[in-house]
Structure 1
Amino acid sequence: MSAFDDLMAFQRETEALAGISGLLGWDQETMMPRGAAGQRAAWQGTLAHVLHERRTDPRIGDWLAAVDDAGLDTVGRAQMRHIRHDYARATRVPARLAAELARVTSTAQGVWAEARAADDFAAFAPTLTEVVRLKKEEAAALADGGDAYDALLDDYEPGARHDELEALFDRLRARLVALRARIAGAERSPPAPRGPFPAEIQMAMARELADAFGYDWSRGRLDTSVHPFTSGGGSDVRITTRVSESDPFNCFYSTIHEVGHALYEQGIEPGYAMTPVGQGVSMGVHESQSRICENQLGRSRAFTGWLYGRMRDRFGDFGIPDEESFYAAVNRVHGGFIRTEADEVQYNLHVLLRFDLERRMIAGDLAVNDLEEAWNARFEADFGYPVDRASNGVLQDVHWSVGLFGYFPTYTLGNVYAGCLNAALTAALPRLEDDLARGDARPAVAWLLESVQRHGGLMEPRTVIERAAGRPVSEEPLLAYLDAKFGALYGV
């Protein structure tokens, strides 16, 4: 076998072990007995150690040196790009640190969940302090003299830099604050649904919504968790949602959001399976798929008209008189604390808060013990009202407990990408509104499949978006969409 063949065979085995680790993580959030947390942490720590040894195996360096990229096809060269990038990063992190991070973050998930249930940040702060300490150590190793936060960001959005994101986010913030101010001065008040909405009916509706977008149940399943997420890839892509009997939109749009992520993984070229190219190219691109499904498609006037009829069939009269009122209710700009429940106008302000705070923690400018106070002060400054309890504030997201520093900005970047894709999608599909009015988002998903999803990691993140959108990445399509949609809804 050639050096390239040897390298890819080794890589497929590593990807298989990573898939097992991912399945253990899914189980921990959905079905694992509570008393198994310590044992699960040991398992994950052992797997992380094995994976780190494989990812830093000196043979990878030898194979990389022996491969002549000029003799490879486009896919082969993309595989080499990813493997070189990942090997360079992995060899900078000591095996001891990789195992310790896996052990601590696995335990931290349970500590966070209990602290969140008790609204007690102080109970979580010592564990988070340890996570931050380890992530700072990892960032310093990865940065190799460069910017520590950029080194962490590169795990989720290769090639992105925090200074570029800051400039983009500043342009967004100014326009979003102005739009929100105009809406706040409007006299329109959309109605709210009147429940209760039984959990079992919500879950039946969630499955119907997944069907509407073409989720492949033969390669997936739907469960519930504290924080909705998607896990897996290829032939096993699982999603979760959550249920509130007073708020069905939480379940429905969390489901559509996670279906968007799952469709990306299910849509990647099957021949790429268990290789570096056989997964989403970045979290920003991944988020573009979930957000365009959730918002531009799922919250459109056409699709909500269909959803209104289905809810009437299943729940009867739930306090909203007609389709137009329902469309306004689904898209209501409202006060609230939870990022995942935020409306389109204010969602990105939640992300920018987290982006700024986590950069300060990694830089050493913000101690974990001061995090709750800093969060609450920033939230009140941005949103105009105080945080009422920790579970609605600093404890609401699982991300920091599992060490996902550098992940949050990809949510807003995904919204920007989705804006670019939506402009191209609507131009390419003149019958899109008719399809959505029938509750059929599959033609739109087919366009996304062909334009973005099937490529997996074949191209750089921005390249795949710019090729699909037919234009450079810019915040303007997203802002134009938001101005037009909410300007019409609120008469501003």
Structure 2
Amino acid sequence: MSAYDELMAFQRDTSAMGQIAGRLGWDQETMMPRGAASQRGAEMAAMEAVLHARRSDPRVGDWLDKAEATDDVSAAQLREIRRSYERTLKVPADLARKIAQVTSEAQGKWAAARADEDVDAFLPVLEEVVALKREEGAALAAGGDIYDAMLEDYEPGTTGTQIGDTFDAMRPRLVALRAAVLDQPEPQGLSGTYDAAAQMALSEKLAVAFGYDLNRGRLDKAVHPFSSGSGSDVRITTRTSATDPFNCIYSTIHETGHACYELGVDPAFALTPLGSGVSMGVHESQSRIYENQLGRSRAFTGWLFTQMQDTFGDLGVADADAFYAAVNRVQNGYIRTEADEIQYNLHIMLRFDLERALMSGDLAVDDLEAAWNDRFAADFGYAVDKPSNGCLQDVHWSVGLFGYFPTYSLGNVYAGCLYGALRGAVPDLDTNLGQGDTSGATGWLRENLQRHGGLYAPRDVIERASGVTPGPEPLLAYLEAKFSEIYGL
């Protein structure tokens, strides 16, 4: 075997072990007994130790020195393996193992603190997570910006300053649109209660309608919806609310977007660095375009209205137009995952600024709740009423995902670019969506973006698919047009 072949064989085994570790995380969120949390932390730490040893194995460096690229695919494989290898070498093995153990245990402590509305119960372990992640970030940055080093795990090639500039360009128009919309009469929402089992059955139907393959996946419930896995085993979760079925429906569609990206990657890339989504921003472009531009469109909600009537009976709204307005209703609220398309990005900007401050040391963990509440009141105009609606609502910081949050809004920006190209390429899009047929849209996304996996850099794959340089203008124009029509602005 050539050096390249030996390297790729080694890499596939490492990737397979990474998938096993991911399955442990899926189980922890869905089925693991609560009393197993401490043992699961030890299991995750052991897996991380094995993975770190393989990722930093000196043979990888030797193979990289000798391997030769023969085409664009092999060049991309070597590029990604080299990037991962060089980053892994910077992080001590003991630190990587400690982070895996602490974040596994912190996840359970966060869930308990959230249920009990007890911030003080969570802060000690969060402080430990922050300290460990800052240590890791400092090792990766090698004298550079810690937060930029962390962003490399989620959006390679992007800096905190670049993201901040993008958000600064978006904020004034989002704030102005939000104010104009909230100045209008609020559309009527749904009424009544909605059976959890019926919500799950409808969600499974919707996932399939958006192209999810249940032969290679499954739908379960979790405290915080997520997608897990790649290749031929990609699982999604959702959650139910007796009074808000949209929470379940749109969480499911969102996670289906993530899952279909992973399932849509060229099978030849399976268990290699190119076998998954290239970045979390590009990943979010898929989940957000599935959820919003497609799932919340007037055409699709017309079909969804009949499906929900068949499932639940009277919804408390008069017709499909009123249902469309209810789906896209803009109202005050605390929860990021339940936010409308306008306010969602403002939730992300809050988190982005706070986590940058945590990583730089400008914000102490003990001051996080007060900082969150002050910023929320300033941005949204009302006070946080309880911790689960404030700094305890998201799982991300408990598991050490610093640098992840801004990719949600980057995903929205990317989705705005893709949607313009998609509409031009699929002229009968609205007709199809009105019949519950998403195949034209999802097929276009699979062919033009998803199948490439990690072959191209994040911004490159968006530009190749959309034909435009990624920027916020298409998203902002889409939002202004959509909500001006709904609210008669």
Q: Same fold (TM over 0.5)?
A: yes
Rounded Cα–Cα distance in structure 1 between residues aligned with 2:33 and 2:262:
28
Amino acid paired to 1:462: R
Q: Alpha-carbon deviation of 1:429?
A: 0.6
SS where residue 219 of structure 1 aligns?
coil
Pairs within 5 Å for 1:409-420: 409-420=406-417
2:186, 2:330 within 8 Å by CA — same for their partners in 1?
A: no
Q: In structure 2, what residue type is equivalent to 1:485?
A: K
Is 1:392 equivalent to 2:389 in the alignment?
Answer: yes
Among 379, 400, 404, which residue is 1:403 paired with?
Answer: 400
Q: Distance in 1 between matches of 2:309 and 2:58?
A: 61
**Mapped partners of 1:473, 1:34: distance in 2:** 43
Partner in structure 2 of residue 144 of structure 1: 142
* Whole-Å separation in 2 of the counterparts to 1:65 and 1:171: 43
Q: What SS does structure 1 have at the residue aligned with 2:202?
A: helix
How many residue pairs get aligned? The number is: 489
Listed as ranges, the gaps of 5+ residues in structure 2 are none
Distance in 2 (CA, whole Å) between partners of 1:441 and 1:429 is 11
2:182–2:331: 8 Å Cα contact kept in structure 1? no
1:125-170 Cα distance to aligned partner (Å, 9 max, x none): 0000000000000000000111110000000000001111111000
C-alpha separation between the residues in 1 aligned to 2:179 and 2:221? Answer: 36
Question: Residue 209 of structure 1 aligns to a residue in which SS?
Answer: helix
Q: TM-score if structure 2 supplies the norm length?
A: 1.00
Q: Which residue of 2 aligns with 1:86?
A: 84
**Could you say which residue in structure 2 is the equivalent of 1:319?**
316
Query: Partner residue of 2:438?
Result: 441
Q: 1:215 maps to which residue?
A: 212
SS at match of 1:239: strand
User: What is the identity, as a one-letter code, of the residue corresponding to 2:293?
Assistant: Q
2:266 and 2:452 in contact (8 A); partners too: yes
Cα distance in structure 2, aligned partners of 1:298 and 1:394: 28
Query: Which amino acid letter does the alignment assign opposite residue 280 of structure 2?
Result: M
- Partner residue, 2:461: 464
C-alpha RMSD of the superposition: 0.6
Listed as ranges, the matches of 1:480-491 within 5 Å are 480-491=477-488
How many Å separate the matches in 2 of 1:214 and 1:168? 32
Deviations for 1:74-103, whole angstroms, at most 9, x for unmatched residues? 110010010010001000000000000000
Shift of 1:491: 1.1
Amino acid at match of 2:404: Y
The reply on whether 1:183 has 2:144 as its aligned counterpart is: no
After TM superposition, give the deviation of residue 443 of structure 1 in Å. Answer: 1.3
Give the letter aligned to residue 118 of structure 2.
D
Q: CA deviation at 1:474?
A: 1.1
The alignment partner of 2:404 has SS state of coil
The yes-or-no answer on 1:76 pairing with 2:70 is no
Cα distance in 1 for residues equivalent to 2:235 and 2:83:
28
Deviations 1:186-224 (A, max 9, x none): 2x3211111211001111110111111111010000000
CA distance in 1, matches of 2:186, 2:38: 49
| Structure 1 segments (4+ residues) deviating >3 Å | none
Match runs of 1:159-238 below 5 Å: 159-186=157-184, 188-238=185-235
C-alpha displacement at 1:448, in angstroms?
0.1
Q: Counterparts of 1:26-425 in structure 2 under 5 Å?
A: 26-69=26-69, 72-186=70-184, 188-425=185-422
> 2:12 touches 2:271 (CA, 8 Å); kept in 1?
yes
Counterpart position of 2:6: 6
Query: In percent, how many aligned pairs have the same letter?
Result: 64
What TM-score does the superposition give when structure 1 sets the normalisation length?
0.99
Tell whether the 8 Å contact from 2:191 to 2:243 is kept in structure 1 after alignment: yes
How many angstroms apart in 2 are the aligned matches of 1:343 and 1:449?
26
- Partner SS state of residue 232, structure 1: strand
Paired with 1:68 and 1:456, the residues of 2 have a C-alpha distance of: 21
Q: Distance in 1 between matches of 2:309 and 2:40?
A: 44
| Distance (Å, rounded) in 2 between the aligned partners of 1:277 and 1:192 | 43
AA matched with 2:296: R
- In 2, distance between residues paired with 1:380 and 1:222? 36
CA contact (8 A) 2:77 2:274 kept: yes
Cα distance, 1:4 vs. partner?
Answer: 0.4
C-alpha distance in 2, partners of 1:213/1:93? 40
The CA deviation at 1:318 is 1.5
**For residues 207 and 16 of structure 1, what CA distance do their matches in structure 2 show?**
27
Question: Could you tell me how far 1:68 is from its partner in structure 2?
Answer: 2.6
Partners of 1:417 and 1:223 in 2: CA distance: 28
- Tell me how far apart the structure 2 counterparts of residues 34 and 163 of structure 1 sit (CA, whole Å): 40
Alpha-carbon distance in 2 for matches of 1:47, 1:77: 29
CA-to-partner distance for each residue in 1:20-56, whole Å, 9 max, x for gaps? 0000000000000111111111100000001000000
